[in-house]
């Protein structure tokens, strides 16, 4: 798939504010500072479509982008150690949960994982929750350009081992770099394939 058009539609603080559109949606989420905005910009070929910040917690709303006038890419707030109040984190949690459980247009959730670090309990717990709620998802390992191929392979292998303790069948996994476009074609082709099937 070639992304010819990518347009910001709106930001929503509640699922009720999300666009009233039947178009399929693909949402992206991950721990704070995992490289989500960079990945979205890489996938769409737009350097400033999603706002990038060195400070975790930049994304605080549900952001909808219209791609090729055919589907929505949805940027969700990160989870984890963003420096915000407990009440704000609770609000984010409710907002994300409501979106994931109630948004009928959501076809797939892309969960981003930093390829440079060992498996984190917060990621594993979130993945387990998504699985119990039967939300379709895949894993996206980010920032692979920042270390050797060998280290990336070892990191992913460790993550697979951690998942196998709870999962009989492992989810689909993508390896990406926003710097050199690694994984861009594979993710866009996957989006295209399930959009045509559903």
Q: Is the pLDDT of residue 158 over 60?
A: yes
Considering the entire predicted model, what is its pTM?
0.90
Per-residue pLDDT averaged across 70-82, rounded?
Answer: 83
Choose between 50 and 107: higher pLDDT.
107
Q: Is the pLDDT of residue 83 over 80?
A: no
Phi and psi, residue 193, nearest 5°: -70, -40
Report the relative pairing of strands 25-30 and 106-114 from DSSP bridges: parallel
Name the average pLDDT for the chain: 89
Q: Please give the share of the chain, as a percent, with pLDDT higher than 70.
A: 88
Across 119-130, b (16+ Cβ under 10 Å) vs e yields: beeebbebbeeb
What domains are there in the chain, each with its CATH number? 6-197 (3.40.50.300)
Per-residue pLDDT averaged across 89-100, rounded?
Answer: 78
- Banded pLDDT at 90 (limits 50, 70, 90): low
Comparing C-alpha atoms, which of 143, 131, 138 is closest to residue 178? 143
Residue-level pLDDT at 87: 58
Residue 109: how many CB atoms within 10 A of its CB? 22
Q: Cα dihedral angle (64, 102, 28, 123), rounded to 10 degrees?
A: 150
> Are 113 and 159 in contact, with CB atoms under 8 Å apart?
yes
């Amino acid at each position: 798939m070639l992304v010819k058009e990518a347009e910001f539609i709106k930001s929503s603080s509640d699922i009720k504010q999300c666009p009233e559109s039947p178009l399929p949606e693909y949402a992206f989420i991950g721990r704070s500072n995992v490289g989500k905005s960079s990945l979205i910009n890489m996938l769409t070929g737009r350097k400033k479509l999603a706002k990038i910040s060195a400070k975790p917690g930049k994304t605080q709303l549900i952001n909808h982008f219209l791609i090729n006038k055919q589907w929505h890419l949805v940027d969700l707030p990160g989870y984890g150690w963003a420096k915000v109040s407990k009440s704000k984190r609770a609000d984010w949690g409710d907002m994300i949960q409501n979106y994931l459980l109630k948004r009928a247009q959501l076809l797939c959730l892309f969960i981003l994982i930093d390829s440079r670090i060992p498996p984190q309990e917060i990621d594993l717990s979130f993945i387990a929750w998504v699985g119990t709620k039967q939300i379709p998802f895949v894993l996206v390992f980010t920032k692979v350009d920042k270390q050797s191929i060998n280290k990336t392979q070892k990191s992913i292998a460790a993550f697979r081992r951690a998942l196998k303790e709870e999962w009989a069948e492992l989810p689909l996994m993508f390896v990406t770099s926003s710097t050199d476009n690694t994984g861009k074609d594979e993710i866009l082709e996957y989006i295209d394939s399930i959009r045509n099937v559903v």
